[in-house]
Structures are given as structure tokens and as C-alpha cells.
Homo-oligomer: A and B are copies of this chain.
């Protein structure tokens, strides 16, 4: 969705998600936008609006076009988004004979939103797999420490004897529900955006429905039958899902940070971070980062909800706000998945040591 959505360098290593950041990179986004433009050209051919070979030739030329990203940025600074500049470059790159098959009837929002959805589709497949991996580590931990005594703590106070297994089960439970939620969200989110300039499909040569069906098949997306230019609720739902995921993982991190305290001594973690000043320390770095990522996601979810106020037929303000917020939300949720898996993999023991007594 953007050129560099996530922190890079050491901060990306600490609290970022290189895979998700790469999927959201400008280069990939350009590729996705070209893929949408090409699918549109093909669909124009399929419905007979342009000759099939012209459509095919245009699609090939579009997908093979070399985009000048400096020019793209310069144009975007004026236009407020990259599509007009991208289309200008495509117009220049394609022979004029192919122009009837290029972008004609489409609008910027169709291209950008569909390109975003293509990225989201892949990212969500990845996240779902990562949730599965976190669940698998939790299942192994549960098998290992199921009956290990653990003092339950409520309101930050020792409550009653419990087992580590009970806490691990509580960690795992929301993850399964998040998978269910994802399954429900997907068809609402992974939809073709196709509406033309004002979202009515009136610009689509009288064949909006047919074009949309062709594109949806080609891009492996739902065809919602109408544009969702000004209905951003699927993105808000995604934002909530990402933050719920980060929040559930943040709770695991918070619990482990509390368990790893000296005096509580209910978790041994390998691979804690070092201190520049205290050689004896091993910090439960991953646990703390999970807490930070959950808070970050909880803050950002607000930003996407604010963008629901998408006035009239297209709101540049709300749309831009989405671009500013969504990448960080995606990378923080992704980073939380990575950190949770790593932290849990490093667990050497869970459960109270013999020194810990019930109150």
C-alpha cells in the first residue's frame, strides 16, 4: 500500500515485520496496481468492448511496463495519490493503438483499493498460517507444562493454586476465535473495487457487471455487485481484527513478563535481551514488545474507524488517513505474531518453582 510502511533498520528488527513490510512496499504495490489495470484491460476484451487481441496486448504491455518511481512520487505529490501518474506513464509506454484498452472507465480508487485488497489477501493467508504456528507452540507448551503448579493471580494478587496448563489454554482460546472471525471477514474484505469515477459503474461502457465478474475471477476476489468507494467498514473490521489479534498476543506477553519477574519465577525464557550496563540481566524483551505492539494496534484502530466518515463519493482526507494508518497496523499485528512465536519457542519452563508458596 505504501513505499515504506514499517520502520526499517534496527527498529524493524525489534518491532517490525519484514515480510509484511515487503508485501506493502511501493514496488509490490505498483505491481499490484498494474495487475489491476491489466485485469481491467482483459475484461474490456472479454466483454467485447475492445478486440480481444488488443486487450491482451495491452495487458501484457501494462504488466511489463517499467515505472519510474521518482516521477510517480513527483506526480503523486500533486495528485494526492499515485494512480494518475501511473496512468500517464502507461499512456506513454503503450502504443496509442492500445489506449482504448487502458484504464478507460476505471478510476484511481478502483485501482488502489483493489491493489490493497490483493496485498491483504496474501498477508492474511500468511497471518493465518502464523496464528497456526503460535497455536502449535502453545499446544506443545501445554503438553509439557499442563500440570505444572502455577499460582493463579487475579487483580495482581496471588489467588488460588492453578496449573500452567490452565493459563496456556486461556492464551490459546482467543486465537481460535480470531480464525473464525477471519473466515467471516474475508468475503467482506477481499472484494474487487470497481465503480468508475463516482462509484456508480456508469462509466463502464454499459457492462460494469460483466467486467467486474471477469476481473474478480482473474484476481481471485469477490464481486460485490457495487463499488464500496465510500463504505470503508470492511477496513474498519480488518483493523479491529488486527488489533484483537495483537491484543490477545499482548496479553501473553504481559503475562510472561510478569511470570519472569524475580520473586515470581514462574517462567524461564531463553534468548532474552542483554543490557548495555548490566551483564547479569536477561530481559524478557519479546514479552515487553508484545505489550507495546498491542498498545500500538489499539491506538491505530481508532484511525481507521475515523476514516469511516468518508464524505460524499470519495474523501481524499479519509482515504489518505487509511494510507497513513493501515500499514503500521498490519506490520504491528504481524510483528506480534512473529514475536509471540519466538517468545513461546524460547520458553524453557512455566509454572511456579518450589520456592513459591500459596498465600
Residues of A within 8 A of B (CB): 1-15, 26, 69, 72-74, 76-87, 103, 105-108, 111, 151-160, 162, 166-167, 169-170, 173-174, 177-178, 181, 184, 188, 196-200, 203, 226, 228-231, 233-234, 236-237, 239-240, 243-244, 247-248, 250-251, 254-255, 257-258, 260-265, 271, 273-278, 280-289, 291-303, 305-321, 323-325, 327-328, 332, 356, 359
Copies in the complex: 4
A173 adjacent to B226 (CB under 8 Å)? yes
A106 adjacent to B321 (CB under 8 Å)? no
A301 adjacent to B301 (CB under 8 Å)? yes
Query: 25 A-B contacts, Cβ less than 8 Å apart?
Result: A2-B7, A3-B9, A3-B11, A9-B26, A13-B74, A15-B324, A84-B275, A107-B277, A156-B260, A156-B312, A162-B200, A166-B200, A177-B234, A233-B247, A237-B240, A243-B308, A244-B305, A251-B308, A288-B315, A291-B309, A292-B318, A295-B321, A301-B301, A301-B305, A302-B302
Q: 3 tightest CB-CB pairs across the interface, nearest first?
A: A3-B9, A247-B308, A4-B8
Residues of A contacting B: mostly: helix
B166 adjacent to A196 (CB under 8 Å)? no
B289 adjacent to A156 (CB under 8 Å)? no
- From B152, B231, B277, give the contact of A248 (CB < 8 A): B231
- From B254, B284, B286, give the contact of A157 (CB < 8 A): B284
Cβ–Cβ < 8 Å partners of A286 in chain B: 80
A317 adjacent to B302 (CB under 8 Å)? no
Cβ–Cβ < 8 Å partners of A303 in chain B: 295-296, 299
B308 adjacent to A298 (CB under 8 Å)? yes
Please measure, in the bound complex, the distance between the C-alpha atom of A247 and the C-alpha atom of B271, giving whole angstroms. Answer: 32
B251 adjacent to A230 (CB under 8 Å)? yes
Cβ–Cβ < 8 Å partners of A154 in chain B: 197-198, 275, 278, 281, 283, 312-314
B306 adjacent to A298 (CB under 8 Å)? yes
Please measure, in the bound complex, the distance between the C-alpha atom of A9 and the C-alpha atom of B169, giving whole angstroms. Answer: 36
A-B contact sample (15 more), CB < 8 A, given A154-B281, A160-B197: A7-B327, A10-B69, A79-B274, A154-B283, A155-B283, A157-B283, A157-B284, A233-B248, A236-B244, A237-B240, A254-B309, A288-B320, A289-B320, A298-B306, A324-B328
- From B3, B103, B178, B309, give the contact of A276 (CB < 8 A): B103
Please measure, in the bound complex, the distance between the C-alpha atom of A162 and the C-alpha atom of B174, giving whole angstroms. Answer: 40
Cβ–Cβ < 8 Å partners of A307 in chain B: 295
Please measure, in the bound complex, the distance between the C-alpha atom of A68 and the C-alpha atom of B9, giving whole angstroms. Answer: 11
Please measure, in the bound complex, the distance between the C-alpha atom of A229 and the C-alpha atom of B78, giving whole angstroms. Answer: 33
Please measure, in the bound complex, the distance between the C-alpha atom of A234 and the C-alpha atom of B180, giving whole angstroms. Answer: 12
A12 adjacent to B7 (CB under 8 Å)? no
Please measure, in the bound complex, the distance between the C-alpha atom of A328 and the C-alpha atom of B112, giving whole angstroms. Answer: 22
Please measure, in the bound complex, the distance between the C-alpha atom of A142 and the C-alpha atom of B85, giving whole angstroms. Answer: 34
Cβ–Cβ < 8 Å partners of A275 in chain B: 79, 84, 107-108, 154-155, 159, 197
Q: From known contacts A157-B261, A240-B237, A312-B255, infer whether A9 and B69 are also in contact, taking CB-CB under 8 Å.
A: yes
A12 adjacent to B8 (CB under 8 Å)? no
Please measure, in the bound complex, the distance between the C-alpha atom of A105 and the C-alpha atom of B160, giving whole angstroms. Answer: 13
Closest CB in chain B relative to A323 CB, distance in Å: 6
Cβ–Cβ < 8 Å partners of A251 in chain B: 230, 308-311
